[in-house]
Amino acid sequence: MKTSMNRRNFLKTTGAISASLVVGFNTSGALAASDSGAQTDTLSNAFNPFVMIDDSGVVTVLTKHFEMGQGTTTGLTTLVAEEMDLDWSQVKVGFAPSHDDYKNLAFGGQGTGGSTAIGNSYTQYRQAGAAARDMLVRAAADAWGVEADSVSMSEGILSSGDNKGSIGDFVKAAAALKPVAEPALKSMADFKLIGKDKLPRKDSFAKTTGTATFAMDVKVPNMVYVTILRSPKFGGTLKSFEAGDAASVNGFVDAKALPNKAGVAIYANSTWAAIKARKSITAEWDDSGADARGTAEMVSEYTDKLNADPTYDVTGKGDLAAVEKAAASAEKSVSADFMFPLLAHAPMEPLNCVIEPTAEGGLRLHDGCQFPMITHPTLAAIAELPPEKVEIETYYAGGSFGRRANGASDYHVEAIMAYLALGGTKAVKLVWTREDDLAGGFYRPMSAQRATISIGDDGKIANWAHRTVAQSIFKGGPLEGMAVHEGVDHFSVEGIVDTPYQLPMSIGLTDYESPMPVLWWRSVGHSQSGYTMEVLMDMAAEAAGADPVEFRLAHLDESVEDQARFAGVLKLAAEKSGWDGKPMKGKGRGIAVHKSFNSYVAEVIEVSVNDKGAISIDKATCAVDCGIAVNPDVVRAQLEGALGYGLGAIMRNQVTMTDGVVDQKNFPDYEPLRITDMPDVEVHIVESELAPSGVGEPGLPPAGPALANAIYAATGKRITKLPLESNGVTFA
């Protein structure tokens, strides 16, 4: 998957031409630098810029990750600013172009996901900053005829004795030097920005003044707007279509079958005309390969598979049914079946992108692009262009929650098909409506799980038999090799098979098959396993007659770092929430703890029940251990957001089907969490010197079970089939 782009072009188009010192990494991962030409370093090797400093002393950090709200533009900038000791207002941020060498070091290609942005960039961006600093210091020392170690640099000013100058004055001389291979990085004790509370977000101003540009806001010359009429059933293909009176819609341009028969592209001179004209188009679909099942059938198929012998023996312990039988016959035992619905991501910005022809005979994609490593070669292949003729310009993305990271690059493929169908001379802007989004597939898969647990004489879990049926996300996709081993898609059982709890587990897995495309949804398999694990731990604690916190701690060995961190957040959340295990009148408290993406999060949720039996979610207390919190306020924001996103889904969201057609049309049928639902959230961050891990997703898995356990404490209702509202739970 080799992609490349003309880097000189990129620097031109980003207006960074006045940059005089450019520092980055070359293809072999070594530090490199040059002056503003920037396509090659002093050894004439091509390299990718990470930091650019212009002669007025303004520093621009290029982020290889996109910004969907998770705070990367602030985070990566902090790393560079820290090593360069910059004044925060002196640093700007820009999105890197699509290029293979802007790899996410966690997955070997350019892309954002899996809560990896800070973790994989932590050393790299600091090195880029430290190298730039070192070169500037050496350049100043040369100019002043002093020793480099007498030169200090702070807030963009270099000084040594009576000598003083702005970093901008030395960029030219610095660019002539070679970067050292391993610049010294600051020690934690010297951090001023990393870990500093309330460092303002880099994107706040633009996003509060209507000036932040999302792909939805892009308009290029000679552009038409496109909507797509798609098969109502997954797997259906276009047979034929009638334009009806689409032509009577003002602004209608044309309608064409997509070359891959995935639908009809409707072209118009405005978004509204493209939306309106689509209503006049009728199509005939070939449904021979389509899925016509409804949700009830799917649920019963999941249940049948759950009852049958699992395909994969994940833990290699043999006969699962025998373990279940033994566990169920123990004096104290617990068993439960869980069912999770399909979920849509529904990012606030409906999917869209713009493709335009370039002067060089290639094409340029404008997109809130999450996976350039997939999208770039995909577009090149379909357009039959060499990869270097494809450019991607990245914009702020109005949320993703996993939806934009798509192994099939689904909406980009639609856009390029629509672009080619029109002849490849006009720019096209593909716009999805919310209806398209909710019906558009790539859902969080359903999952059915069953656990049978016995409690031994010591009051601890003696046996835990677990079976899972889920549609694999990774099989058949580009990341299959990373995720699937001996048939087992790790993401179908993550959070169970690798739980930090010391549990004697036997796990079986069966895949569910369907032409309906499924996708990772914020926290992937943990969005389900967090729920099953932590509801079950509560049930087991009750069967053992133990306090839920004490019971969990009894299954952790705190001499092991992983388990100590897990126990640490559990205790912290319990303490901060005033957990005392005592029943409260008309109220309930629930706790849950889960590890995902190498971060540890515990959450306590407090609910109250009104006189009509409706639940209010009053308060959430979160504790997180994510290693060093680079931007504590961003960590808090991500915890608040992941908690809210998770709660909304668990409370009331599901995508359902009737005869293969999605029932939910727009937000009223897939009601998002509202401000009225949002509890007061308190986030406590564990002080740490360990390398940072992610925070975009780990706040989600404990939210659902903490709420469910709180509802159980308040009402005695134990809910294992989601969403909660389909079990008669109402929220005030």
Q: Which parts of this chain interact with other proteins (CB under 8 A)?
A: 67-71, 198, 200-201, 203-214, 216-217, 219, 225, 250, 270-272, 275, 346-350, 396-401, 433-434, 633-634, 637, 640-645, 647-648, 666-668, 672-676, 678, 680-681
Nearer to ligand FES, 349 or 410 (CB): 349
Binding site partner of 433, from ligand FES, other proteins, none, Cβ cut-off 5-8 A by kind = other proteins
Q: Cβ closer to other proteins: 144 or 395?
A: 395
> Choosing among ligand FES, other proteins, none, which partner's interface includes residue 41 (Cβ < 5 to 8 Å by kind)?
none
Closer residue to ligand FES (CB): 350 or 387:
350
Q: Which of residues 488-517 bind ligand FES (CB under 6 A)?
A: none
d(CA 72, CA 372): 16
* Host H or E run for residue 421: helix 410-421
In Å, how far from its chain's centre is CA 462?
36
Q: How many other CB atoms are found less than 10 A from the CB of residue 318?
A: 10
Judged by DSSP in three states, 21 sits in: strand
- For 145-180, where are the alpha helices, taking DSSP H only? 171-175
Residue from 615, 581, 602 nearest 698 by CA:
602
Specify the DSSP element, H or E, that contains 488: strand 488-489
**Strand ranges (E), 262-310:** 263-268, 282-286
Which residue, 172 or 207, is less far from other proteins as judged by CB? Answer: 207
Nearer to other proteins, 427 or 673 (CB): 673
When the beta carbons of 152 and 666 are compared against other proteins, the nearer one is 666
Nearest distance from C-beta of residue 346 to ligand FES, angstroms = 10
CA distance 271 to 257: 19
Distance of closest approach, residue 400 Cβ to ligand FES, in angstroms? 10
Q: Which of 69, 156, 179, 478 binds ligand FES (CB under 6 A)?
A: 69
H-helix segments, 287-371: 295-307, 320-328
Rounded alpha-carbon distances, angstroms, from residue 9 to 6, 20, 28, 54, 95: 5, 16, 22, 18, 14
**The pairing of beta strand 505-511 with beta strand 461-470:** parallel
Cα angle: 645, vertex 650, 653; to 5 degrees: 85
Q: How far is the CB of 653 from ligand FES (least distance, A)?
A: 15
Nearest residue (CB) to other proteins, 114 versus 644? 644
- As measured in angstroms, the least distance from the Cβ of 399 to ligand FES is 5
Structure tokens that stand for 123 in this block: 């050393």
Vertex 159, ends 155 and 164: CA angle to 5°? 95
CB of 401 to other proteins, least distance (A): 7
Q: How far is the CB of 103 from other proteins (least distance, A)?
A: 24
Q: Which is nearer to other proteins, 166 or 280 (CB)?
A: 280
For the CB of residue 213, give the shortest distance to ligand FES in the complex, in Å.
Answer: 15
CB nearer other proteins, residue 28 or residue 208? 208
Shorter beta-carbon distance to other proteins: residue 281 or 379: 281
Q: How many residues does the chain have?
A: 732
Shortest spacing between CB 672 and ligand FES, in angstroms: 9
All residues at 6 or more sequence positions from 123 whose CB lies less than 8 Å from its CB, including other chains:
185
Instruction: Report the residue number whose CB is nearest to ligand FES.
Output: 348
Cβ at position 155, least distance to other proteins in Å = 22
The correct pick among 348, 381, 614, 690 for binding ligand FES (CB under 6 A) is 348
For the CB of residue 227, give the shortest distance to ligand FES in the complex, in Å.
16
Residue among 657, 653, 651, 729 nearest 299 (CA): 657
Q: Which does 317 bind (CB under 5 to 8 A by kind): ligand FES, other proteins, none?
A: none
By a kind-dependent CB cut-off of 5 to 8 A, residue 203 interacts, out of ligand FES, other proteins, none, with other proteins
Give Cα 108 distance to the centre of its chain.
17
Tokens for 211, please give them. 């000036």
172-174-177 Cα angle (round to 5): 120
Handedness of CA 380, 386, 388, 389 (dihedral sign): negative
Answer for the pair 204, 53: CB distance below 8 angstroms, yes or no: no
Q: How far is CA 663 from the centre of its chain?
A: 26
Min dist. Cβ of residue 596 to other proteins (A): 18
Show the CA angle centred on residue 47, arms to residues 45 and 50, nearest 5°: 155
109 binds ligand FES (CB under 6 A): no
Nearer to ligand FES, 145 or 668 (CB): 668
Residue with tokens 């939806």: 403
- x/- map, 376-405, ligand FES, by CB under 6 A: -----------------------x------
The residues of the shown chain that bind ligand FES, judged by CB under 6 A, are 69, 348, 399
